[in-house]
Structure 1
Amino acid sequence: MNQELDSAAGSLPHDNFRCGTVALAGRPNVGKSTLLNALIGFRLSITSPRPQTTRHRILGINTSEAGQIMYVDTPGLHRGAKRAMNRSLNRAARSAISDVDLVVQVIEAGRWTDEDEALYAALVEQSSPRLLVINKVDLNKDKTVMLPFVAELVAKHSYDEIHYVSALKGQGLQELEQAILQRLPVRPPVFGEDEVTDRSERFLAAEMVREQLMLRLDQELPYATTVEIEQFNDRPDGIAEIHAIIWVERAGQKAIVIGNGGAQLKAIGTGARRHMERMFERKVFLKLWVKVREGWVDDENMLKKFGYTD
């Protein structure tokens, strides 16, 4: 921890100041990343309508006068993990819930699936307190349907509290944050007041390119892609120069990512660059290449090279 961070952390109150780590866990596509972004007030985790958009554990930090909450956005725990990539995501999700002060299980309003049940079974093996967050309540027009759904849930499952939220609309978040804070230990902050993550700009740049792949490519193709940052330098003129490789599994996929006359790759690059400039608060020069590495999704060594670790 550097001196600047020590100084920032030391400026916060310490009497009854609470600080701890909270895992946001759930099956794919229940809105964990949207919830993280809403809770920290910063667009940190990439989002898309596709399940399994989140592939890495992302730490998002929210610091207030009352405390510092370190949220961990986890990959969605899912069944049918036949490929090495999917097994890696499940290991990362299970690892994230084993070493935190509190777990928040996020589900979709009105839906409880086998994957939700499997995650709950993993949670009860831990000693951490657990909250249930029912997300996307704004999409449920008939509120009376929720009553029997929740009644059946609480009859079979034990949670310290249940919260109804809409991460997208910002509903119910203040009450959820208070419930989290009161269950965290009293201790000084770990990070400075202005820090929102421990992830590097290099990592975030790769994620923003991958987000565009998830948003712009059809069907299963986004899952056969990953992004590696080959170069990230700040030039003397203040521009961040970033070179990134988009890896795919087959030559046919490469052609699709590039698109007719390079149009698709240009659109991916433009979308990613705009997000980078907003987040990094400086101009970005982004250069993208598409390369083929057959079977990288099932290659444990390549997965480690690309940062997929527990």
Structure 2
Amino acid sequence: MTIREEIDAQFPIRKTTAQKRAFEKWVMAKMREMGYRPYVDGMNRKDKLRHRNIVAGDPQNAELLISAHYDTAATIGIPDLRIPRNFPVYILAQGAVLLGMLLISLLIGTAVGLATKSGDLLILTFFFAYLALMLLMMFGAANKHNVNDNTSGIAALLETMQRLSPEAREKTAFILFDHQETGSRGAKSYGAQHVEVQTMKLLVDLNCVGDGDTFVISAPKMAQDKPEYAVVRESLEANAMASGVSTQFFGRAGVQGAGDYRRFVCGVGVSAYHHSAGVGLITGRIHTSRDIVCRQENLDYLAKSLADAAQKMNDL
């Protein structure tokens, strides 16, 4: 059984406090088996959400940080279409979701308004129905299938940890972020408490890396200027063909979408996509019951590439 299969079998949903604590206990034990000393980063008690970011290694002194989020998204059955490079289609897709929610809210409001013969209640119901749908998208029932988002990222991170030599481990740190699905609040809280890491360290974030054979790597100019980034890019490019994947590298401004990596000055986002005629790069199963696809080849590719890069950090 692979690490990804093990997580999916035991912890397919990581949303409630109990579910997260069970996963936290398991993953920290897994890291200890590999020879690491993981810990839960101190929570910022000013935050209403109790973020618990799981850390292995020494981010303050590491040359390469690798991250993934471990929390599970809520769902109302609408797919989170991620279209990183086609801005017009991306806007149309987001607009279609917004329009659908407005129409549903209007139908509910109209029904209440007709039943009560009150225009005020129609408007009030419409407003609260729309607000409820927005809240349900973030804080509602958990999506039951999360193989790509983001069991894939967790598994790739753990497989990378397995591969590292003792020398490479001294140069590498790992973070599993909480609360990415509610606005990357776990990453934001971590950055606020560790400003040097947030502003200076190269962080490679693995999010939705299992479904698709084209990897999009998004990095801001400050990350691209770092010698560590050149090593990571070289390793990703060198292993791509043999792994049956392709890579595309862009600046941060050239890629649509959110992610924990955007909370870091030198954050690099890594995600996998399919090619679709007329759309380009897209992933469309996440936040739905169809999020059940993960290519093990993708995880092996990332683990090998990142482990190779970590090993080369000693030569910088």
Scaled by the length of structure 2, what TM-score is found? 0.27
More strand, by proportion: 1
Scaled by the length of structure 1, what TM-score is found? 0.28
More helix, by proportion: 2
